[in-house]
Amino acid sequence: MAKLTEEQRRQRAAKRALRSALDAEADDRRRRERDERWKREGTRLSWAEYVAGEPCRGCGQPMKDGLGSWPPLMKLSESEKREYEEADRGFRERHVDCRNGRWTISGSRAAHCCFCCPPPPMSPKQIERLDRLIASWPSREERKKDLDTWNLTLRCDHVVPHIQHRDHTYVSTHVVDCPECGERRGVVSSERVGPAYSDDGTIRERSAAARERLAQDLSAAEAKLARQQKNAVATQRRITELKEMLGNES
């Protein structure tokens, strides 16, 4: 097989990135629709309902079955192996199209789907600890010092800024809102720009490269508009000619 050229490798990488962005958009739509359905149908359990032993509203299985956690697979007895395999088969049958993992609660053997089963609610103590943790965070102004801006190139070719903590070496976000399209779009590529905020706390201006790219996008959009306007003028001229021809024949 002939060795691929650098340009061919670049084209293949671009196609893979585009397919990945399209898949991310489809998965994002799927999850957003699920979350809207959960909200509409009241699928999530309240803490009181969870404590009272209400079953999972996603699959109907008990949230806690009181059977204790499964032993390590290597230590299962023959009867436990059969029971485990039967439970695994039942889970796969119930969630054949979910394409996701599973979760369980400590002390319980009932497995729940990471896609269609809402996680258990947080306890009051957990909420209290979370509130204390949030209260101990540095102020918003202090946190700004550790934030970087990244430019995300989306599946629609628009470039949008994304701000995240400097410790991150890559952007894990796969889908973002595109202000130009007004739609959720998959991320094709990302590029770190630098500190998001100036010393005075204001958002730092875009880099020269980012401004140049925006200028190119603007120029391309203006050229497209000019072509559309020219075509519209030509179409209107043709309409006028056809009307005159019909008038002359009547």
Please write the tens of the pLDDT for every residue from 163-175. Answer: 999 999 999 999 9
Q: Are 115 and 38 in contact (CB under 8 A)?
A: no
Strand order in the sheet with 159-165: 159-165, 147-154, 183-195, 175-178
How deeply is 171 buried, as exposed, middle or buried, from its count of CB atoms within 10 A (0-12, 13-18, 19+)? middle
Q: pLDDT tens digits for 32-43?
A: 999 999 999 999
Phi, psi at 92, each rounded to 5°: -65, -35
**Whole-model pTM over 0.85:** no
Q: Check residue 223 and give its pLDDT.
A: 79
**Amino acid symbol at 45:** L
With b for 16 or more beta-carbon neighbours within 10 A and e for fewer, the 8-25 pattern comes to eeeeeeeeebeeebeebb
Q: What is the dihedral of CA 227, 231, 234, 239, to 10 degrees?
A: -160
**Amino acid symbol at 32:** R
Average pLDDT, the chain: 89
Instruction: Dig out the tokens for 144 from the structure.
Output: 């700004």
Q: Provide the strand spans (E) within 68-169.
A: 102-103, 112-113, 147-154, 159-165
Q: pLDDT tens digits for 177-196?
A: 999 899 999 999 999 998 98
With b for 16 or more beta-carbon neighbours within 10 A and e for fewer, the 81-114 pattern comes to eeeeeeeeeebeebbeebeeebeebeebbbbbbe
Q: pLDDT tens digits for 183-230?
A: 999 999 999 998 988 876 676 655 555 666 666 677 777 778 888 888
Residues 6+ apart with CB under 8 A from 185: 21, 25, 154, 155, 156, 158, 175, 176, 177, 178
- How many whole angstroms separate alpha carbon 227 and alpha carbon 57? 55
- Could you tell me the sign of the dihedral formed by the alpha carbons of 228, 229, 233, 236, in that order? positive
